Structure 1
Amino acid sequence: MNEYELLDSGHGRKLERFGKITLNRPCAQAVWNPSQPQAWKQADAFFTRKQGLEWRGRDKLPDSWIAQVNGVKMKLSTTDFGHLGVFPETRAMWNWIRDHISKASKRRNEPLNFLNLFAYSGGATLAAAQGGAHCCHVDASKGMVAWARENAKLNGLAEHPIRWIVDDVNKFLTREIKRGRRYDAILLDPPSFGRGKGGELYKIEHALLETLQLVQKVMSNQPCFVYLTSHTPGFTPIVLKNLIQQLLGNGQLDCGEMLLTGSENTFTVPSGTWARWEK
């Protein structure tokens, strides 16, 4: 089931439906004209960055609400930065992860160990859990990990084997290497700029290579896949593909853009990039 839809885009903005709530938010890529000008009148709230960060109509929205996005129930809430607790451009990836983990688990007759780094509110973690994986969810934000745990409860996965870790990713990986823990499937979505649990600075252009080198060392002897995504300008699909190919060699490689999608008549909006390696 899916309760997300891109309704229209244009003039630097996007109109999206999340369950019963329709929102009008900035979208720098949408440089074209809107296709359905009348549709924008249905927006329940409007977010702008023109004079600071501001929601208009936020007072009319519930504090939080639930929307099912590609089979995963997500608690959504308007944050001060304009985010909601889900990045819908990743939902096609959730389907891929769920499907591939399920098939690989059946082939091996045992659950895969899945590691989600910079894991945010847990959509991919829960999709992997739905596919049968034992999961490890790592994010430096205590609040986001708590949010992800709420989402696990919503999906009936509170008792599923998921380790919830609040930590700096590179420090966590270094400790996992020493502990001898290994993972069959790994997803990482590094931020352009972020802070670790202890205030550690993470800038993708300097820290990503180290992260990938550590990822290589926590891969199991029978790895299934490594999936790398990015919202950083300049980190094109080919850049990500080159990074994981250089690190992991010539497995099955693929790359592309993450997309916001709606009906057939709605322009698709690129929103980030991805690359993946399969054994």
Structure 2
Amino acid sequence: MNQVAENWKDYECIDAGNGEKLERWKDVILRRPDPIALWPIDPSDAAWEHPHAHYHRSNKGGGHWEYKERIPESWTIRYRNLRFKVSPTGFKHTGLFPEQAANWDFLMDQIEQAHREIRVLNLFAYTGGATMACAAAGAKEVVHVDAAKGMVQWAKENMVLSHLEDRKIRFIVDDVLKFVEREKRRGRTYHGIIMDPPSYGRGPKGEIWKIEDQLYPLVSACMDILDEQPLFFLINSYTTGFPASVLQNILNTTVKKRHPQGRIEAGEIGLPITGSDMVLPCGIYGRWVHDPNA
């Protein structure tokens, strides 16, 4: 079951191919690497030659932005009633993954239709796209956990931009597994858990994260803080070589085993390419959602 983020107005993937993508972020056109775009581009399409900025990879790792026109250091884009700061970083990213809007829509729909108080935990929460979506949808509390202090600060800026200061959002800089274990000791539970684990990472005190070694133990640990009346459990992944069926199997052997009244959906997540009828694949997702008819 594939999901496509097709409701954007301030963002579009104009074209993709030759290992790159051409995007519009409100009024700014960026050209960035995308190793999954293995098909050719139309050599007669001049749009590729006139972005505002073009990120070039280095053979030695990393890369740099070539600015063809002056652009702001940061600017704001809108999705539904949410607003986010966008800023090109030295490692090609912009602080937002627009394909995640498909997951945001799912989360917002679930919370709005629940008609009860919902507490949400967002792990590896980055700059807070899912955090803001859940808060805007009416979650009673959203706990935002990320090991990178700078990303948590960026998420706080997004909260202000989205006018969500009056919502209960807790921002935590911590190693996610350590935080989950502490929440278990405190006896706290969540109706919805979201995680977007990296392939490899480090916690604030140097803790090593390897998705192939630690994803299942983390999901298993989360079973102890998932409420007895859960609403959803969502895993997103960008790890190369991980098929969606891996996430489906993990959810089957953890969440579904403990909470059989639910269904599991898994697949690719992607962006429509406006210059063609193709979709740019952008990772995978797996989710368990409460379903009394299951």
TM-score, normalised on structure 2? 0.90
d(CA) in 1 for partners of 2:103, 2:273: 16
Q: Shift of residue 21 of structure 1?
A: 0.9
d(CA) in 1 for partners of 2:165, 2:68: 30
**1:235-270 deviations in whole A, cap 9, x for unaligned?**
111111001111122430101111022437342110
Q: Which residue of 1 aligns with 2:137?
A: 131
d(CA) in 2 for partners of 1:124, 1:102: 14
Q: Shift of residue 69 of structure 1?
A: 3.0
Say which of 60, 65, 76 aligns to 1:66. Answer: 76
> How many pairs align?
275
**1:195-237 deviations in whole A, cap 9, x for unaligned?**
1111111111111111101111110110001001100012111
Q: Which residue of 1 aligns with 2:19?
A: 12
d(CA) in 2 for partners of 1:204, 1:166: 19
**1:24-47 deviations in whole A, cap 9, x for unaligned?**
001111111225722213311001
Do the aligned partners of residues 172 and 244 (structure 1) sit closer, same or farther apart at CA in structure 2, a change above 3 Å counting? same
Supply the RMSD in Å over aligned alpha carbons. Answer: 1.5
Q: What residue identity is the alignment partner of 2:72?
A: P
- Runs of at least 5 residues in structure 1 that lack an aligned partner in the other structure: none
**Between Structure 1 and Structure 2, which shows a larger proportion of helix residues?**
1
Q: Shift of residue 58 of structure 1?
A: 7.4
Say which of 81, 85, 90 aligns to 2:95. Answer: 85
TM alignment of 1:174-213, pairs within 5 A: 174-213=181-220
Say which of 23, 30, 34 aligns to 1:27. Answer: 34
The 3-state SS of whatever aligns with 1:95 is: helix
Matched, 1:145 2:152: yes
- Runs of at least 5 residues in structure 2 that lack an aligned partner in the other structure: 1-7
Q: Which residue of 2 aligns with 1:44?
A: 52
Say which of 107, 115, 119 aligns to 2:121. Answer: 115
Q: Which residue of 2 aligns with 1:158?
A: 165
Matched, 1:256 2:267: yes
Contact 1:7/1:266 (<8 A) preserved: no
**1:165-216 deviations in whole A, cap 9, x for unaligned?**
1000000000000001100011101110011111111111111111101111
TM alignment of 1:238-253, pairs within 5 A: 238-249=245-256, 250=260, 251-253=262-264
d(CA) in 1 for partners of 2:45, 2:9: 24
d(CA) in 1 for partners of 2:147, 2:50: 36
The 3-state SS of whatever aligns with 1:60 is: coil
* Percent of paired sites with the same residue: 41
Q: Which deviates more from structure 2 when the two are superposed, residues 185-194 or residues 255-264?
A: 255-264
Q: Shift of residue 22 of structure 1?
A: 0.8
* Stretches (4+) displaced over 6 A: none
TM-score, normalised on structure 1? 0.94
**1:69-90 deviations in whole A, cap 9, x for unaligned?**
3442110111110010001111
Q: What residue identity is the alignment partner of 1:89?
A: E
Q: Which residue of 1 aligns with 2:4?
A: none
Q: Which residue of 1 aligns with 2:5?
A: none
Q: Which residue of 2 aligns with 1:273?
A: 284
d(CA) in 2 for partners of 1:23, 1:200: 34
Do the aligned partners of residues 256 and 45 (structure 1) sit closer, same or farther apart at CA in structure 2, a change above 3 Å counting? same
The 3-state SS of whatever aligns with 2:84 is: strand
The 3-state SS of whatever aligns with 2:254 is: helix
Q: Which residue of 1 aligns with 2:104?
A: 94
